[in-house]
Structure 1
């Protein structure tokens, strides 16, 4: 299961790097090369949307079927493990949402730059 989150983390990092490349000021010749490179990268990055959606569904399902540990019968270790799993689920949900938002930002910025570089 940890491999999925590592892949998603690397994809978010790659999307952030692409977003930074797109927003940096540069000469028109360099910008057109960057835009052509990004056009090659955007198609494989499209799989991030269904992958992140599947991960969000997995988080939701696990949250609905998680044993609650809030009563007095829980030990301190069980309570700590429950809280840690909740924090990890929240972190992973933020990661999935960031992946989708960054992909949207990159594609919208790319479309604008592609239009600018043509004219």
Structure 2
């Protein structure tokens, strides 16, 4: 069960690295190649969205079917285990949300770069006329 969270953590780290590379200032030739590479990787990386959504549904289902340990009948160990599982679920929700948010940010940044390039080409063609 922990392997999926390790994979999602790696994906989030890779997305953060790609987002940093795309947003760093660089010469136009290098920037265009980085954006082209990121755009090329976006389509296979889109599989992170349904994976994260499934993980969110799994967390929701486990939260609804979790044994509550809020009464005085629970022992200290049971209460600690309950609180630890709540903290893990919250961490995993943040991980899923950050995976989706990073993907969206990279997608939008690549779209903005493509739009800027098209506008520059249009401006150049209008200046030539």
With the shorter chain as reference, the TM-score category is over 0.9
Question: Structure 1: 5+ residue runs without aligned partners?
Answer: none
Q: For residues 16-51 of structure 1, what are the alpha-carbon distances to aligned partners after superposition, in whole Å with 9 as ceiling and x for unaligned?
A: 011101110000000111011112211111001100
**In the comparison of the two structures, how many residue pairs are matched?**
119
> C-alpha distance in 1, partners of 2:14/2:111?
18
Larger radius of gyration: 2
Greater length-normalized contact order (CA 8 Å, ≥ 6 residues apart): 1
- The equivalent of 2:21 in structure 1 is 21
TM-score (norm 1): 0.96
Greater than 4 Å deviation, 4+ residue runs: none
- Name the Cα RMSD after superposition: 0.9
TM-score (norm 2): 0.89
Question: Structure 2: 5+ residue runs without aligned partners?
Answer: 121-129
